[in-house]
A and B are shown apart, each in its own frame.
Chain A
Amino acid sequence: MKQKIINPSTSVNTATHPGSTGYDYTMGPQQTLPDLPVSSGTIAASGTNGGSSTAASAHTSLPSVYNGSLHPHAHNQHVSLAAFAFLFQELISQARNASKSVSEIEMRLHRNGYHIGIRLLELLNFRSSVSPGFGSTSSSRAFFSKTSINSSSNTLALNNALTTTQDEPSLAQGISHMKRRDLKPVEILQFIHSTVWTYLFGRVSDDLVKSSERDNEYMLVDSAPMLSQFISSTNVQCDFFVCGIIEGILDSASFPCNVTIHSVPEPNFQQRAVFVVRFEQQVLEREALRA
C-alpha cells in the first residue's frame, strides 16, 4: 500500500482506481469518459459526470501528493540546522563510499542538488505568484518542508506527512497573475540571488557580479556558506551540492550553464565561496537574436 501512495507516477493499480487508469504513454490520450460497458448502464444514464465524479471521489479518499497544499504557510517554515547537518553528512558519506575519486564525489553531490534545483524553480515561482494572504489559515502538518525537498530522492521520510485526507482549496485560485517567467540571464540570476537563497538559507546571497573578463560568466558570492560550515580540512568541495541546485534551476529554465565553486577566503570570512556560473554560448546568442 505504501508503494502505491508514494509512487503515483509509476504505479497503476486499476483495482483501486476503477474510474481512471491514468495516462498511458503507449496509448495516447484517453477521452474523458471511456465508453462504459452496458452492464453499468445506470451510471451512464445518470449523466455525463457520473463516472468521473465517482472516480474522483475514490481518489480523494486515498492519501496522495495531490491532496497536500503548496502553500508556504501550510508547513513548518523552518527545519533544524542540526538535523539537516546530519542528513547532509549522510549524503556526503554515501557519495564518498560509492565514488573512486574526489571529482566523482563532487559529481554525485552536484547531481543531488540538480534535482532539487529543477523542483525549486517551479515551486518558488509558483508560490510567489500567489497573492499575499491567500489561504494562510491552513494549519495542516508539514509536507513540503525544507527537509523533504532537500533530501529529495534520498529519503522516504516524507511518507509520514502524507496523511492529510482533506482537500484544500488549490493555490491557483489565489493567483491573479502568474509571476513573469525570467527571460534574461540577469533576471534569473537575481531570482537565485534573492528568492532561492532566502528560501534555502534565510538571507539573500552576498553579491551577484558579472565577470569583467568573460561575457557569459557571472559570480554569486556567499561569505559564509551554511551547508559546509561544519566541514573542514578536506579537498572535497561539498558546496557542489549548491552548485547542483543552481545549475538545476538554470538548466530547467532553459539557460544551460556550468556552475563551479571556488573558495576565496577573506580575512573575516574564512569560508567565503564564489559560485561561478558560466552560461553556454547559445544563451548569449539567443539574447542577441531576441534583443
Chain B
Amino acid sequence: MPLSYERYMNLIFHRDSVVEPVPQEISRKIVSGAVSPVVTVTSNEVLDQHIQECFGLDSLYMLLRHFGDCISDRAQADNDDVGATPVEAQTTGGLLTTPNVQTRARSRSNSLFQRSSSQFMRFTRPLTDLIGTRESHDLLFDYHSLEVFLQHYLSLIEDRTTPSTPHTLLQHSLYHKFFITAISSTTHLSPYESFNHPVASLLALDISKDQDYETAKELLVSFKNMHNRTPHFPSFINISDVLPVFLLCYEEDSREQFEKCQSLAKMLQKQLFVESLLLPLWDKDENAAKRVLRLPVMSSLEESVLSTMNEKQFELSLPLIETIYDRLTIFSEELMIPFMKRKISFWEETILQPRKSIFPNSKFFRKLMSSNPAPTANNDSATHNYQGLAYFAATSNEFLLRKLADWSFMLSDFKTAYSTYESLSKDFETSPEYLASCLEWCALSVLMGAQSIVTVKMIKNDIDPLITRALKSYELSATRAKERNALIESSSRKAAVSGAALDTKPKNSAEDQSVSTPYQSAQSYETRCMLLAAELFLSLSDTWTATPYAIKYLETILDDCTVGTLSEVVIWERLAQCYASRIDPRIKSKKTLADFRGADDLEKVNEGEELSDAESDDDDQPYNHKIEQDCVSAIGLTRKRKSALFRLIAAKKWVEAKQWRQASWTFKDVELMYADTAFALRKTSILDRLRNEIQCHEP
C-alpha cells in the first residue's frame, strides 16, 4: 500500500516506511488539509467529567481532535509503529485482532489517490473559547514558537533514528511538517478570510448521565445567542452560517440508552430542526485491541508545541476508533458537505448571479457599485473593531462572496473559487487587507485546480503577477495600519493629557503592542503566502519552468522575512531540493556519467583516476587521449551543482545549529554529490572541516 497522508506526515512514528518514495500530490493534500472545514466541539461539564474518568483526556474536544485530518484514511486505527506499542500489543491480545485490521486496511481508501479534499476535517475548541483567547494582533504564525516546535521535533527525530537510518524521505517529511505548521493556525480567526471560521459545530450530550432534551435546548440556545453574549464577538462571524449538530454519546451495550437516543434525536429534529449523531462512546470492552492516539497532522502550532512537551500518551480501543470514524464520515458526507453546498448555491443565486447579469464587465457600473460598499467610515457593510480597523461584516455581500470562494476551495471546486476570487479582487481595490488575501487565494486556486494545464505563459502572465500583487498589497496594508495606529496613538495621548488617566492606561499598553505588530502581521501573511506558492509551484508537473518561481519565493523568505535559525536551515534544504528537481522534462530519462557510476561505488571513481595516471604508458590504451564528455545532450539542462551547493550550506547550518543528526544526514548527501570533484576534497576544504566536526558528535 502506498504511503498514506498521515503516515507520511508522521513518518517519524512509522519508521518501517522510511524508504518509500515521496507520495504524489502531497503538497496539494497538505494545502487541502490546512484549509479543511473547521468543526467546533462544544461539550458540557458532565460529559467532560465522564470522559476524564474513562479515557484520561481533559475534554471531548481533546478526544475528537485526534480524529481530524483525512477521516477516510482512518489514520488513528493504523498506528502500528513497532517501537511504540510493543507492550500494549501483547497484553491486550492484539495478535487476535490484527488480521482484522489488515482486511480493513485494504478496503480503506487512500486519500492520496482521491481528488476530493472534502474528507479532510479540523476540530477546534468552542467558538467562545477561540474568541476569548484571540490575540489583539493578527499573526498567522509566530516564528519563535515555530522554532521551539522544530527544536522539539528534531530532538524527537534524533531519539528515534540512528545516523544510518535512510533519511531522504524523513527529510522530506520534516519539511512538510514544517510547512504545514507554518501555514496553519487553527485558533486564529482572520477577518480577511474565512478558512478558520467554523463551518459546523458539534454540541455534545451525555445520555448515560441522563442529559436530555432540556440540556440540548439550552446548549443550542446559548450557541445561537453567542454573538450577543460574548464580549468582543467579531462582526465578521455569522452564527447562522455555522451548522449545529448534536452529538449524543451513549453506552454501547445499553439498549435502553440507544432507544433514548433515537427518540431524542427525533425530537430534536422535529422541534429544534437540528440533526443528531449517535455515538456509542462508552465502551466497556476491556479486551479489545488498543491504539495509542497520535497527534493529528493538522494541529495548530500551540497544540503541537504543547504536545511535544507533554509526554503522556492516550489510548483508545480499536473498535471505538473505527466507530468514531464511521460516525464522522456520516457527519461529513450527509450533513456538513450538503450544508456547505446548499449555502454555496444560495449565495451564488442571491449575490453572484445578480452581479453578473447587471454588470457584465462594465467598468462604469462596477465603479458605481464598488464606490458604494467600500469600508469607509459610517458605511453599512463595514464595521469597526475596538482598534478602529474597518471590517466587512459577516453579512455583507463582500464577505459572503469571500466565504463562497473559500468554501468552494475547501470543497475542491477550484474553478468557482478562482472566478469568485477574481471578481472579488476588483471590489477590494481600495482595501489592501482584503485584496491581498483575495489575490493570494486566487493564485493558489489556479495552482491547486489546473494542475496539468498550467503553462509557462500562465505562470508568467497570470499566477506570478497575482502573487506579486498579493505581496505588495500585504505590505501596503501594513503601512496603512501603521499610519492608522500612529494616528490613534497620538489622539489617545491627547486624551491622556486631558485627564482620565485611569481609563487610558490599559488601553495604551494594548496599543503599544499593536503599533509594532502590523508589520509583523503582514509579514506573517506574506511568509505564508510565499511558502504556499513555492510549495504548489513545486508540485506542478513541468518542474523546469515552475521551480524557478518556487526558488524565488523561498529565497525571498530567507532574505526579507523574519524566520528562526532552524526554519532557515529547513528552507535551505528545501532550496536544494528545488534545484535538484529542476530538470528539463525532455532529458529526465537520460543518465549522466555520474548516474551511471552509481551513488555508492566511490571506489570505481578512484580506479578511473589511477587509469588516467597511467596514461603516459601509451601502449595499453591507445584511444584514451579523447576528451571525456559528460552527457553532452543534457548539458545545462539540470541544476544539480546548484542543488549540491545549497545542500552544503544546509549541512553547514545544521552544524552551526548543533543538530548533528540532520547535519550528518545532509552531509552524507553532500559528500556523494562532490565525490567526483577534486577541488572539494582538498584537505583545507570546508567539507573536511564539516566532516571532522560531525564525526565528533555522530560517529
Which residues of A line the B interface, CB within 8 A? 25-28, 98, 104, 107-108, 111, 114-115, 118, 247, 251-252, 254, 256, 280, 282-283, 285-286, 289
Are B623 and A282 in contact, with the CB atoms below 8 A? Answer: no
Are A254 and B679 in contact, with the CB atoms below 8 A? Answer: no
User: A99 to nearest B CB, angstroms?
Assistant: 9
Among A28, A98, A111, the residue within 8 A (CB) of B684 is A28
User: B623 to nearest A CB, angstroms?
Assistant: 7
Are B635 and A251 in contact, with the CB atoms below 8 A? Answer: no
Complex CA–CA separation, A118 to B622 (angstroms): 17
Nearest-CB residue, chain A, relative to B685: A28
Nearest-CB residue, chain A, relative to B627: A251
Are A115 and B632 in contact, with the CB atoms below 8 A? Answer: no
User: A279 to nearest B CB, angstroms?
Assistant: 10
List 10 contacting pairs A-B, 8 Å CB cutoff, sorted by A.
A25-B678, A27-B684, A114-B626, A115-B625, A254-B635, A286-B632, A286-B633, A289-B586, A289-B634, A289-B637
**List of B residues within 8 angstroms of A114 by Cβ:** 625-626
B225 in the interface (beta carbon within 8 A) = no
Q: 6 nearest interchain CB pairs? A: A285-B633, A282-B633, A286-B633, A107-B622, A282-B632, A256-B629
**List of B residues within 8 angstroms of A26 by Cβ:** 682-683
Are A280 and B679 in contact, with the CB atoms below 8 A? Answer: no
Are B622 and A111 in contact, with the CB atoms below 8 A? Answer: yes
Interface members, chain B 599-640 (any A CB < 8 Å)? 618-619, 622-623, 625-627, 629, 631-635, 637
Known: A282-B632, A285-B632, A286-B633. 16 other contacts (CB 8 A): A27-B682, A28-B679, A28-B682, A104-B622, A251-B626, A251-B627, A251-B629, A254-B629, A254-B632, A256-B626, A256-B632, A282-B631, A282-B633, A286-B635, A289-B587, A289-B637
Interface members, chain B 575-603 (any A CB < 8 Å)? 584, 586-587
Q: How large is the interface on B (under 10, 10 to 19, 20 to 34, 35 or more residues)?
A: 20 to 34
**List of B residues within 8 angstroms of A247 by Cβ:** 626
Complex CA–CA separation, A111 to B626 (angstroms): 9
Are B632 and A280 in contact, with the CB atoms below 8 A? Answer: yes
Are B627 and A252 in contact, with the CB atoms below 8 A? Answer: yes
Complex CA–CA separation, A114 to B618 (angstroms): 14
Complex CA–CA separation, A186 to B645 (angstroms): 37
Complex CA–CA separation, A247 to B684 (angstroms): 39
Which of B625, B629, B637, B683 gathers most chain A CB within 10 Å? B625
Complex CA–CA separation, A79 to B631 (angstroms): 40
Nearest-CB residue, chain A, relative to B586: A289
Complex CA–CA separation, A111 to B618 (angstroms): 10
Which residues of B line the A interface, CB within 8 A? 584, 586-587, 618-619, 622-623, 625-627, 629, 631-635, 637, 678-679, 682-685
User: B512 to nearest A CB, angstroms?
Assistant: 51
**List of A residues within 8 angstroms of B631 by Cβ:** 282
User: B167 to nearest A CB, angstroms?
Assistant: 30
User: A178 to nearest B CB, angstroms?
Assistant: 20
Secondary structure at the B interface, as helix, strand, loop or mixed, is: loop
Nearest-CB residue, chain B, relative to A252: B627
Are A283 and B637 in contact, with the CB atoms below 8 A? Answer: no
Complex CA–CA separation, A56 to B258 (angstroms): 100
**List of B residues within 8 angstroms of A252 by Cβ:** 627
User: A262 to nearest B CB, angstroms?
Assistant: 20
**List of A residues within 8 angstroms of B634 by Cβ:** 289
**List of A residues within 8 angstroms of B623 by Cβ:** 107
User: A24 to nearest B CB, angstroms?
Assistant: 10
Are B622 and A283 in contact, with the CB atoms below 8 A? Answer: no
User: A185 to nearest B CB, angstroms?
Assistant: 12
**List of B residues within 8 angstroms of A28 by Cβ:** 679, 682, 684-685
Complex CA–CA separation, A226 to B366 (angstroms): 83
**List of A residues within 8 angstroms of B626 by Cβ:** 114, 247, 251, 256
**List of B residues within 8 angstroms of A282 by Cβ:** 629, 631-633
**List of B residues within 8 angstroms of A98 by Cβ:** 619
Complex CA–CA separation, A285 to B635 (angstroms): 11
**List of A residues within 8 angstroms of B619 by Cβ:** 98
Complex CA–CA separation, A139 to B682 (angstroms): 46
Nearest-CB residue, chain B, relative to A114: B625
Complex CA–CA separation, A104 to B620 (angstroms): 11
**List of A residues within 8 angstroms of B678 by Cβ:** 25
Which of B633, B634, B683 gathers most chain A CB within 10 Å? B633
User: B143 to nearest A CB, angstroms?
Assistant: 38
User: A60 to nearest B CB, angstroms?
Assistant: 30
**List of A residues within 8 angstroms of B622 by Cβ:** 104, 107-108, 111
Complex CA–CA separation, A289 to B631 (angstroms): 13
Complex CA–CA separation, A136 to B13 (angstroms): 78
User: A134 to nearest B CB, angstroms?
Assistant: 32
**List of B residues within 8 angstroms of A254 by Cβ:** 629, 632, 635
Complex CA–CA separation, A107 to B624 (angstroms): 11
**List of B residues within 8 angstroms of A251 by Cβ:** 626-627, 629
Nearest-CB residue, chain B, relative to A279: B632
Complex CA–CA separation, A46 to B685 (angstroms): 33
Complex CA–CA separation, A28 to B677 (angstroms): 13
Complex CA–CA separation, A114 to B625 (angstroms): 8
Are A289 and B584 in contact, with the CB atoms below 8 A? Answer: yes
User: B634 to nearest A CB, angstroms?
Assistant: 8
Known contacts A28-B679, A289-B637; is A283 also within 8 Å of B625 by CB? no
Known contacts A289-B586, A289-B587, A289-B637; is A111 also within 8 Å of B625 by CB? yes
Nearest-CB residue, chain A, relative to B679: A28
Nearest-CB residue, chain B, relative to A98: B619
Complex CA–CA separation, A158 to B633 (angstroms): 40
Complex CA–CA separation, A138 to B377 (angstroms): 85
Among B618, B625, B633, B685, the residue within 8 A (CB) of A289 is B633
Nearest-CB residue, chain A, relative to B631: A282
User: B612 to nearest A CB, angstroms?
Assistant: 15
User: B71 to nearest A CB, angstroms?
Assistant: 47
Nearest-CB residue, chain B, relative to A28: B682
Complex CA–CA separation, A202 to B619 (angstroms): 35
User: B587 to nearest A CB, angstroms?
Assistant: 7
Complex CA–CA separation, A28 to B626 (angstroms): 27
Complex CA–CA separation, A107 to B685 (angstroms): 41
Complex CA–CA separation, A289 to B618 (angstroms): 37
**List of A residues within 8 angstroms of B635 by Cβ:** 254, 286
**List of A residues within 8 angstroms of B586 by Cβ:** 289
User: B590 to nearest A CB, angstroms?
Assistant: 8
Are A283 and B684 in contact, with the CB atoms below 8 A? Answer: no
Complex CA–CA separation, A259 to B77 (angstroms): 68
User: B618 to nearest A CB, angstroms?
Assistant: 8
Nearest-CB residue, chain B, relative to A284: B633
Which of A27, A115, A256, A289 gathers most chain B CB within 10 Å? A289
Complex CA–CA separation, A254 to B634 (angstroms): 12
Complex CA–CA separation, A26 to B684 (angstroms): 9
**List of A residues within 8 angstroms of B684 by Cβ:** 27-28
User: B211 to nearest A CB, angstroms?
Assistant: 72
Nearest-CB residue, chain B, relative to A287: B633
User: B682 to nearest A CB, angstroms?
Assistant: 6
**List of A residues within 8 angstroms of B682 by Cβ:** 26-28
Complex CA–CA separation, A127 to B613 (angstroms): 33
Nearest-CB residue, chain B, relative to A112: B625
Nearest-CB residue, chain B, relative to A247: B626
**List of A residues within 8 angstroms of B632 by Cβ:** 254, 256, 280, 282-283, 285-286
Complex CA–CA separation, A280 to B626 (angstroms): 13
**List of A residues within 8 angstroms of B679 by Cβ:** 28
User: A272 to nearest B CB, angstroms?
Assistant: 27
Complex CA–CA separation, A11 to B587 (angstroms): 44
Complex CA–CA separation, A286 to B634 (angstroms): 7
Nearest-CB residue, chain B, relative to A286: B633
User: B190 to nearest A CB, angstroms?
Assistant: 47
Nearest-CB residue, chain A, relative to B584: A289
Complex CA–CA separation, A247 to B625 (angstroms): 11
User: B310 to nearest A CB, angstroms?
Assistant: 51
Complex CA–CA separation, A98 to B619 (angstroms): 9
Complex CA–CA separation, A285 to B629 (angstroms): 14
Complex CA–CA separation, A258 to B586 (angstroms): 26
User: A204 to nearest B CB, angstroms?
Assistant: 27
Complex CA–CA separation, A25 to B678 (angstroms): 9
